[in-house]
Chains A and B, each alone.
Chain A
Amino acid sequence: MTTTYRTCPRSGLQFEKQAETLMKANAFVAVVWLLIGGLLAIGVALTRWPAFRWLEADTFYMVLTAHGIDMLIFWIIFFEIAILYFASSTLLRCRLATPKIAWLAFALMLIGSVTNNIAVFRGSSSVMMTSYVPMMAEPSFYLGLILFAVGALIACFVFFGTLVVAKKEKTYTGSVPLVTFGAITAAIIAVFTIASGAIILIPTWLMSIGVVKEVDPLVYRTVWWAFGHSSQQINVAAHISVWYLVAAVAFGAKPMSERVSRTAFLLYILFLQLASAHHLLADPGLSTGWKVVNTSYFMYFAVLASMLHGLTIPGAMEVAQRQKGFTKGLFEWLRKAPWGNPTFAGVFISIIGFGFLGGISGVMMGTEQLNMIIHNTIYVPGHFHATVVVGTTLTFMALTYYLIPVLFKRELIAPKMALWQVYLFGFSMYGFCLVMMGAGTLGVSRRHWDMAFNGAALAYEWPGAAYLMMALVGLLGVIAIVGGAIFVLLTVGSLLIGRKLEDGAVSGSFTPLPRTAPSAVAQSYGSMGFAAPGTFTLAMVFLVSFVLYYFINWKYLSTLWGLS
């Protein structure tokens, strides 16, 4: 097949024509879903703000269903497919395998996502993203999700095929780059995720059209979560790969140790999926042993992996900065980091928020007994907005600012505003997640239209602090939505009216990928040691917060009714 390769003069990256168009299409549709999900977020935030309670109950539940699906599935997975093509075709300087099939995948995902949303907005599929049976949505709700999943699965195999092409055509020597390795992790998790989704959504769809009589509610919950939570694990692997990518392009940072970083990704492949079990900790019918082994990712080995990435990424940045001469004290490297670059700033805000807010709260919810004080409270969305919005979405936004000149060949309009955008969005989401977790600690339910229980025979009066925190959820949510809107404006604006940048040299064949120079840490092994003391200090601050908060929750649990 004939194709061309363009070498970007701004980044030195080499884009293959077919892959480039597909990346653009997937990333663009992703941003459209982010826009739709963001508009829906206005309805959710202003309704959960007790003083406003803006939408009617039925509209609220419909909007909440759509917000969850559009953000958690469509926005993120479309963007991730673009990242998979980037991590294979662009980073390995290789043609994309079977571009026509990749377009088929794109079409299926697009048709599926639109079909699903039409079903939701017709109003009789307000079943939330989880759609627990026996509550039923319209058949096209499930059919849309199934089509989308099949499309995403095909795209994953295009990614794997591209790896094979690169190997065969010898576009690189040795092992694949670390970022590609992380993307492979994400794609393997994606295959597991999508297969689980198919296993449970196909019978549920058949049940909705009357072919299958019953899907067991507990079996549904168990298998659905192998899809529902695992899809968020794709995000973790994908956005951590992007963190390594940004560390490389913003600092020229080298991984401190390829062995540590890659082993951490391997631990994800082996253990990350098990955590889906934490959604079932409050369920009947599952044994304690099953719950403990699974919810802890088998002895917290995937938590270990995340703690390793959390150290090695800032650590690599620190080593790179120190080599540039920023060696004063523990933190000169961090003070002199490129805080004026939205790509770096966004990623760093994301790393800290993902670790401190998302990571720690995730372990709390996933602790078998502590789950009883958290299950289905608004603490849960507090947690996953810290992981999925602060972690994944903010990272993807930061990456988009990098890709606009590099991939879309446009100059970013209003770069200062892009910088403000990541700070505004990131910090308002920090606050948003914190007050949500605060309200959840007081017991406030998630997915609930009216915390005042108007019209209920036996209404419960939440403490005043819960009302205050839910008002702050609304307020900070609105601020974050403004931040998100600025992102969409800047992105779409840059694509439409941003100054066109030159394509760079086009050639009919790829330039083989060179190997990296041996890293400084590797060369100095055993003599220098302790290459990133600042990062280590940050890691210890993290550990102390983690330990304290963990035992505070146990203390809280110990005051409850006796349960056995």
Chain B
Amino acid sequence: MSAILPPAERLWYKHPIDRVEGTWIVIALTWCLIMFFMMIGWHVWGSQNLSTETYRITPDKFMAKTQAMVDKYKVREETAEKIPVVAPPPGSDVYLLGRLWSFYPILELEKGKTYRLHLTAMDYNHGFSLQPANINIQMVPGFEHVVTVTPNQSGTYSVVCNEYCGIGHHKMVGRVYIK
């Protein structure tokens, strides 16, 4: 019963290693290093890496920028709440905000084109969960997160809030159209 008794050898760190353990250490360490370099490698060769471009921002300033985009590129309104649908040109800055309990505005983007998507939360933490693509990004109040996105499929996408934000959380859904 030696795991509950002091070890026999005075210096446990001189205790010999069985070949089963030695072999496994080499294999496991190799696998760990492969996984580590995979993350770094994907930044070089992969095309899904989360941007780290971030600015501190106040809700008012972000709202002003969003509203300017809405006024300029609004194409129509949807739903009973008259949420504006915005179709900014490819390559431009696109703003999407999360607040209690909606996303604003609805975006209409083009497939294969690249946009600078600015995300923030106006009050509490919110979650940007793009479905059915299943891309999930945290929206933290006070921080403007700029993510460069290139949609690769056309269709109707939903943005589900997946950070708990109070009693209306489960009704907080937005939309993105890809043409």
Contact = CB atoms under 8 A, between A and B. Distances in A.
Contacts of B15: 257-259, 522
A260 interface: yes
Contacts of B47: 558, 562-564
Given A296-B35, A367-B39, A282 B49 contact: no
From DSSP, what is the main secondary structure of chain A's interface residues? loop
A316 B2 CA distance: 11
Interface in B70-96: 78-81, 83
Nearest to B28: A307
Given A284-B138, A372-B135, A259 B50 contact: no
A555 to B, nearest CB: 11
Nearest to A460: B158
Given A257-B21, A456-B173, A543-B31, A372 B137 contact: yes
B69 interface: no
Contacts of B83: 457-458
A514 B2 CA distance: 10
B176 to A, nearest CB: 10
B149 A563 contact: yes
A427 interface: no
A177 B20 contact: no
B162 A377 contact: yes
A282 B134 CA distance: 13
B158 to A, nearest CB: 4
B64 interface: no
Interface string A469-506: 00000000000000000000000000000000000000
Contacts of A284: 52, 54, 119, 138, 140, 143-145
A248 B39 contact: no
Contact of B39 (A263, A369, A515): A369
A239 interface: no
B162 A448 contact: yes
A538 to B, nearest CB: 11
A518 interface: yes
B147 interface: yes
A532 B18 contact: yes
B18 to A, nearest CB: 5
A176 interface: yes
Contact of B29 (A176, A304, A371, A529): A304
Contacts of B46: 369, 557-558
A304 B129 contact: no
A563 B49 contact: yes
Interface residues on A, range: 35 or more
B131 A460 contact: yes
B14 to A, nearest CB: 7
Interface in A422-463: 441-443, 445-450, 453, 455-460, 462-463
Interface string A127-157: 0100010110000000000000000000000
Contacts of B148: 562-564
A564 B42 CA distance: 11
A215 B47 CA distance: 35
A533 interface: yes
A391 interface: no
A177 B167 contact: no
A107 interface: no
A536 B7 contact: no
A557 B43 contact: no
B48 A560 contact: yes
Interface string B43-62: 10011111110100000000
A79 to B, nearest CB: 18
A303 B169 CA distance: 35
Interface residues of B, number: 95
Given A368-B39, A460-B160, A561-B133, A308 B149 contact: no
Contact of B124 (A134, A173, A248, A557): A134
A57 interface: yes
Of A57, A253, A460, which is in contact with the most chain B CB atoms at under 10 Å from its CB?
A460
A245 B167 contact: no
A282 B163 CA distance: 12
Contacts of B152: 559-562
B35 A300 contact: yes
A529 B36 CA distance: 31
Interface string B22-40: 0111011101110110111
B20 to A, nearest CB: 5
B149 A376 contact: no
Contact of B2 (A135, A286, A516, A546): A516
A363 B34 CA distance: 13
Contacts of A519: 2, 8
Nearest to A376: B162
Interface in A349-389: 363, 367-369, 371-377
Given A363-B35, A560-B133, A564-B47, A283 B138 contact: yes
Interface in A298-331: 299-301, 303-304, 307-308, 311-312, 315-316
A221 B7 contact: no
Nearest to B6: A174
Of A252, A462, A539, A563, which is in contact with the most chain B CB atoms at under 10 Å from its CB?
A563
Contacts of A462: 131
Contact of A218 (B123, B142, B167): B142
B124 A455 contact: no
Nearest to A452: B170
B174 A458 contact: yes
B178 to A, nearest CB: 9
Contacts of A269: none
A135 B125 CA distance: 8
Interface in A218-253: 218, 221, 244-245, 247-249, 252-253
Given A283-B140, A285-B52, 12 more contacts: A132-B124, A178-B3, A257-B16, A315-B18, A376-B136, A450-B170, A458-B83, A458-B106, A513-B5, A543-B31, A550-B35, A563-B148
21 contacts: A134-B123, A173-B6, A177-B4, A257-B17, A259-B14, A284-B145, A292-B39, A299-B32, A300-B32, A372-B48, A376-B163, A445-B162, A447-B162, A453-B173, A458-B173, A458-B175, A518-B9, A526-B16, A529-B19, A554-B38, A563-B135
Interface of A: 57-58, 61, 91, 128, 132, 134-135, 172-179, 216-218, 221, 244-245, 247-249, 252-260, 262-263, 280-288, 292, 296, 299-301, 303-304, 307-308, 311-312, 315-316, 363, 367-369, 371-377, 441-443, 445-450, 453, 455-460, 462-463, 513-519, 521-522, 525-526, 529-533, 535-536, 539, 543, 546-547, 550, 554, 557-564
